[in-house]
Homo-oligomer: A and B are copies of this chain.
Amino acid sequence: MFLNDIPNEIKSLSIAQLKELCETLRQKIIATVTHNGGHLASNLGAVELTVALHYVFDFPEDKIIFDVGHQCYAHKLLSGRADEFDTIRLKGGLSGFPKREESAYDCYNTGHAGTSVSAALGIAKARDIKGENFNVIALIGDGSFNNGLVYEAFNSLKPLNTNILVILNDNGMSISPTVGSMHEYLEILSSDSRHREKIERHANIFERFGFSYDGVYDGNDLECMIDKLTEVKNKLKTGSVILHVYTKKGKGYAFCEENPQETHGVSSSSSKPSLQYSQVLGETLCELARKDKTIFAVTAAMTPSLGLEPFFMEFPDRCIDVGICEEHATILCAALATQGIKPFYAVYSTFLQRSYDEIIVDICSQNLPVTICIDRAGISGADGETHQGVFDLSFLNCIPNLTIAVPKDGTEFRRMIEMSIHFDAPLAIRYPKDCKYSYGDKDSEIVPGTWQILKKGTSDIAILACGERAITLARRAMNDSGVSATLVNARFVKPIDETILAQLNQTHIITIEDNMLAGGFGSVILARFADSGKKVHCFGYVDKFIPHGSVGELMEDFGLSCREISEYLKQCE
């Protein structure tokens, strides 16, 4: 079976051939993801459902939006992209998420949770206005279902007066196991699947929003899915439908089925395991929490990747994973802090964007001592533009009352966490995934707003480097260029260290940061030295969305090139 012919041929295949196709897809996904890294378990679970969708519906005329988009691999393979599938998540290759630029079969880019129903409604409404006639499908997992956006979208189905199909792909897992009452409710539906009467009563919750509800069916049963989707396609002519299916995360690969959380996302075979900042967070917070009963940890569906599983195991009464609800998580932290509890909100930089209003209004305008631990800051790599953590310094910088810290290594991160315990104001600490240098100067306490001179240089150049990646790059550039500059660990972006700044008698000031240039650390230094006669030059990311690739490649391509920094150093000397 040639996968690239599938888009034209799929409707003429027999059930036996379709089942064979499922097996082919599954093997291709396992082989590729094991090599390139990516989302494994969720994609394996969605194979039969995706084949049935392509068999029953007419893509790309019909439109499908994959919520989050991490379960779109079979869809990519079935829509003419099989030959390029080996390149997935590699620089210049296929994206690991739906991309309109890549194929007409991808009608809406996703990456963050809970957007699919809103997007489906918008596309369906546009169709109605234009008098067109196609089907619009949102495929959403039970993890995304916790996000308030889904509820907001449901709430406007009736006012929009349009028809969509929502397929709830229920596998009981966000990334961590799905939490919360909605999940319990979905479980009731699943367990009641043989009692139609009960289901009809339960179904009310969706029907009130204007959907007809149908479920729960086995999403890994290809024939069942084909039957149900055919039936539902017909119903869509007169109204909106929620089709509730359950699938087995990791289906068909025993190791995944048994370890769905660990195999949700897997690293590429070439990536070396290293110390991660998340481990430092977990270990340090556990140690501190043994002594300090006020410490509380909040996450939004990413507990293990944030290093907080040990904390959640040891202190079950002083933590919560709220599900994919970053806004709610932020307010919860602010409210805990009003009562003398010390909350740590750990979150990926890219998802922190969801909390922006609450960081301003709830945490910072009330000046509450919440510590926000921002993981995967800077370029995060293979997940591409929707996941790069390159905006945080820019969007946080303008918020009053907020202190922003950027550790240079694991030890410094540990000291910052320790410092935060008695820090009586909002604090954000941002760091990338990998922590190459775990131990710097062991004993020094961190005073907020202080920097550190790492090296005194002989030239008329001072480099203010912000975070581990920037410092590493500065050292490499000095090495490559042979230029000896003064190197400063600018570990606080806000406030900046006026004592060290006043001492800098160099004419050339260079800033380096793993963040957008606009509004980042460099912009703070430019403002500080305006009118000073010093020449300030900033290195950071240029004004473009950064696609997928390896961290090193992308840093080089988008503004943090060692060669360019070296050349600039030579030019200044």
Residues on A close to B: CB < 8 A? 100, 107-109, 111-112, 115, 118-123, 125-127, 129-130, 146-160, 179-182, 184-185, 201, 204-205, 208-210, 293-294, 296, 317-318, 320-323, 325, 327-328, 331-336, 338-341, 351, 353-354, 356-358, 360-362, 364-366, 385-386, 391, 394-395, 397-401, 516-520, 522-524, 526-527, 530-531, 535-538, 543-545
Residues of chain B within 8 A (CB-CB) of A366 are 100, 108-109
Question: Separation in Å of the A191 CB from the closest CB of chain B?
Answer: 14
Determine the chain B residues whose CB is within 8 A of the CB of A155 once the complex forms: 146, 180-182, 322-323, 325
Name A107's contact: one of B148, B338, B531 (CB within 8 Å): B338
Min CB gap A431→B, angstroms: 19
Expressed in whole angstroms, the minimum distance between the Cβ of A437 and any Cβ of chain B is 28
Looking at the assembled complex, report how far the CB atom of A551 sits from the nearest CB atom of chain B, in whole angstroms: 19
Check A398–B181 contact: CB distance below 8 A.
no
Nearest B residue to A317 by beta-carbon distance? Answer: B129
A333 with B524: CB separation less than 8 A: no
Determine how many copies of this chain the complex contains.
Answer: 2
Shortest Cβ distance from A182 into B: residue: B155
Can you list 11 A-B contacts with CB-CB less than 8 angstroms, sorted by A residue number?
A108-B335, A111-B361, A115-B361, A119-B335, A148-B152, A155-B181, A160-B320, A185-B208, A356-B395, A391-B398, A397-B518
Chain B residues within 8 Å of A365, by CB: 109, 385-386, 545
- Give every chain B residue within 8 A of A520 (Cβ-Cβ): 398
Q: Which of B152, B296, B543 contacts A328 (CB 8 A)?
A: B152
- Residue in B210, B320, B333 whose beta carbon sits within 8 Å of that of A156 in the complex: B320
Q: Closest CB-CB distance, A312 to chain B, in whole Å?
A: 12
Q: Indicate if the CB atoms of A341 and B160 lie closer than 8 Å.
A: no
In the bound complex, residues from chain B placing their C-beta under 8 Å from that of A118 are 327-328, 331-332, 335
**Which residues on the B side are within 8 Å of A526 (C-beta)?**
523, 526-527, 530
Most buried by B among A153, A204, A331: A331
A331 to B129 alpha-carbon distance, docked (Å): 18
A351, closest chain B residue (CB): B357
Residues on the B chain within 8 Å of A123, using CB:
335-336, 338-339
Give every chain B residue within 8 A of A394 (Cβ-Cβ).
394-395, 397-398, 519
Contacts of A125 in B (CB 8 A): 320, 332, 336, 341
Which one of A150, A152, A153 has the greatest number of beta carbons of chain B within 10 Å? A152
Residues of chain B contacted by A120 (CB below 8 angstroms): 335
A156 to B365, CA, bound (A): 25
| Other 15 A-B pairs with CB < 8 A, given A126-B336, A155-B325 | A108-B338, A118-B327, A126-B339, A146-B155, A148-B151, A151-B151, A154-B181, A155-B322, A156-B332, A205-B205, A351-B357, A356-B356, A394-B395, A397-B519, A398-B516
| A239 → chain B closest CB, angstroms | 14
Q: In the complex, what residues of B have CB within 8 A of residue A357's CB?
A: 112, 351, 353-354, 356
* A11→B337 CA distance, assembly (Å): 31
Q: Which residue of B lies closest to A357 (CB)?
A: B353
Q: Which of B108, B153, B181, B522 contacts A158 (CB 8 A)?
A: B181
